[in-house]
Amino acid sequence: MKCPECGAMETRVIETRTADEGRIVRRRRECPACLARFTTYERVEEKRVIWVLKKDGRREAFDRSKLLRGISHACEKLPVSLEQLEEVTCRIEDRIRTLGYGEVPVKEIGDLVMKELRELNQVAYVRFASVYREFTDLESFQKEIARLAAERSGNRN
């Protein structure tokens, strides 16, 4: 595995763990040349292509890395670990694949992300919602935050 810091071609595995109920192997690696440490993930490559139906009618192949990137943006500068991001992404991808059909509307994927982020971190949820639901004014944010606050106070009683 090539070191992302110095480009050395030899790195060593210092720790291996399974994640997502054994579907992913997480490896911590170290570069002997620069001593940088980094994490890699191994997963089975799916052969069946899932198509995402976009709002404008286009079809695009499902891209796990794009999903992870979107979730990561929502969680930027928040106390959410890379491992949590991977787990959320895996749950969403698994759900998409178990739906049983080859095309998934982008709205369905967005709804799955919203559900996961609501449980993971409410600030990340509001960030994602603001883009996904295309908030255009402060009132949209206030309504969503008020709804979250009402749910939270309802759960405490």
Q: What is the pLDDT of residues 76-97, one digit of tens each?
A: 999 999 989 999 999 999 899 8
Question: Is the domain of 38 the same as that of 50?
Answer: no
> Does the reported pTM lie above 0.95?
no
Question: Is the domain of 18 the same as that of 83?
Answer: no
Q: How far is Cα 128 from Cα 91, in angstroms, rounded to an integer?
A: 17
Q: How far is Cα 82 from Cα 88, in angstroms, rounded to an integer?
A: 10
What are 8-12's contacts with CB under 8 Å, separation 24+? 8/32, 8/33, 8/34
Q: State pLDDT tens for residues 7-43.
A: 999 999 999 998 877 888 999 999 999 999 999 988 8
Question: Is the domain of 92 the same as that of 122?
Answer: yes
| Neighbour tally for 17: CB within 10 Å | 11
Question: Is the domain of 77 the same as that of 121?
Answer: yes
Q: How far is Cα 26 from Cα 123, in angstroms, rounded to an integer?
A: 27
Q: How far is Cα 92 from Cα 95, in angstroms, rounded to an integer?
A: 5
Question: Is the domain of 52 the same as that of 82?
Answer: yes
In-domain check, residue 150: no
Average pLDDT, the chain: 90
Range of the domain at 84: 46-137
Question: Is the domain of 82 the same as that of 36?
Answer: no
Question: Is the domain of 22 the same as that of 76?
Answer: no
Question: Is the domain of 37 the same as that of 58?
Answer: no
Q: How far is Cα 112 from Cα 118, in angstroms, rounded to an integer?
A: 10
In-domain check, residue 144: no
113 burial (CB, 10 Å; 0-12 / 13-18 / 19+) is buried
Question: Is the domain of 102 the same as that of 39?
Answer: no
Question: Is the domain of 58 the same as that of 125?
Answer: yes
In-domain check, residue 157: no
